[in-house]
Copies of this chain bind each other. A is one copy, B any other.
Amino acid sequence: MILGAGNVATHLSRHFFSRGHSIELVYSRTLEHAEQLAGEVGARSTDRREEVPPEADIFLVCLPDGEVAAHSEKLSGRKGIWVHTAGALPMNVFAPFHREFGVLYPLQTLTKERQISMQQVPMLVEGSSKTVTDTLKVLASDISDEVREVDSQTRLVIHLAAVFASNFSNHMVGIAEELLRKEGESYRLLLPLLHETIHKLEAMEPVRAQTGPAARGDEETILKHLELLREVPEWQKLYTFISRDIARFRKD
């Protein structure tokens, strides 16, 4: 059964369901969300914690990080393997309340509206015992070819790296979008550039792939850019800061 009906719950439920797993119940505090997801994966839905069954093979907890412990405590009698899906939450959050528990963290940016393949997405698993770990590995390999056992501390570092690589990159495009919108242009003009930026990283490391004014020490262009940013001091600061960091990498 699934606790949660957000982005991660939706993607994992869909994929497990399509691989033949049966999902008994979707619980969410927002009944409408629970109903919507449950409808997609042939499950019952509820917004009442009391209705969570006393036993299940897997309790898959896809709740916000801050709510996992509280729900786990309130449902401490329930028998089965308790699994959360968070990058930054240690496995032991379950330890006071359950006997068998683990983590299944999909290393991907998940948004409900998207349908994506999980086949190449790394699934980072961890279990409270070898049996649990093995169960989670088998489960994860039903939807992905890239299953890895990773402990809580390493998973946290990988999660941090993913925030830089994905969330922060996405925000850089967000800033680009704002700059272009003022000129009546769309960020979509940058899509071929963005695709090549990532494709390049298949072939070479980021430091070698780097181009642009900071990488070539082109101070004149940097000054022109800073002048353009004069009305947004935050972005001026950010620009200077990142450019300095790029130059530091270059010199190392």
Q: Are B245 and A193 in contact (CB under 8 A)?
A: no
Q: Which of A137-172 contact B (CB under 8 A)?
A: 146, 154, 156-172
Q: Which of A54-71 contact B (CB under 8 A)?
A: 64-66
A197 at the interface (CB under 8 A from B): yes
CB-CB < 8 A to A167: which residues of B? 210-215, 246
Given contacts A157-B180, A161-B187, A179-B161, contact A249 B174 (CB under 8 A): yes
Complex Cα distance, B222 from A167, in Å, reads 13
Interface size on A, residues (CB 8 A): 90
**Can you list 11 A-B pairs, Cβ within 8 angstroms, ordered by A?**
A7-B211, A66-B220, A113-B203, A122-B192, A164-B176, A166-B190, A171-B246, A173-B206, A174-B246, A175-B245, A194-B201
CB-CB < 8 A to A159: which residues of B? 221, 225
Given contacts A66-B220, A200-B111, contact A194 B206 (CB under 8 A): no
A31 at the interface (CB under 8 A from B): no
Q: Are B210 and A174 in contact (CB under 8 A)?
A: yes
Given contacts A166-B212, A172-B172, A225-B160, contact A206 B177 (CB under 8 A): yes
Q: Are A205 and B191 in contact (CB under 8 A)?
A: no
Complex Cα distance, B189 from A120, in Å, reads 10
- Partner of A166 from B164, B197, B204 at Cβ < 8 Å: B197
A229 at the interface (CB under 8 A from B): yes
CB-CB < 8 A to A208: which residues of B? 111
Write the chain B residue with the least CB distance to A219.
B66
Q: Are A169 and B173 in contact (CB under 8 A)?
A: yes
Given contacts A167-B214, A174-B207, A218-B65, contact A180 B161 (CB under 8 A): yes
A109 at the interface (CB under 8 A from B): yes
What does the 1/0 interface line of A127-144 toward B look like (CB < 8 Å)? 000000000000000000
Given contacts A201-B173, A212-B166, A246-B167, contact A228 B156 (CB under 8 A): yes
CB-CB < 8 A to A109: which residues of B? 193, 196-197, 200, 209, 211-212
Q: Are A165 and B194 in contact (CB under 8 A)?
A: yes
Write the chain B residue with the least CB distance to A226.
B160
Q: Are B197 and A170 in contact (CB under 8 A)?
A: yes
CB-CB < 8 A to A122: which residues of B? 189, 192
**Which among A18-26, A35-43, A73-81, A236-244 touches the partner chain?**
A236-244
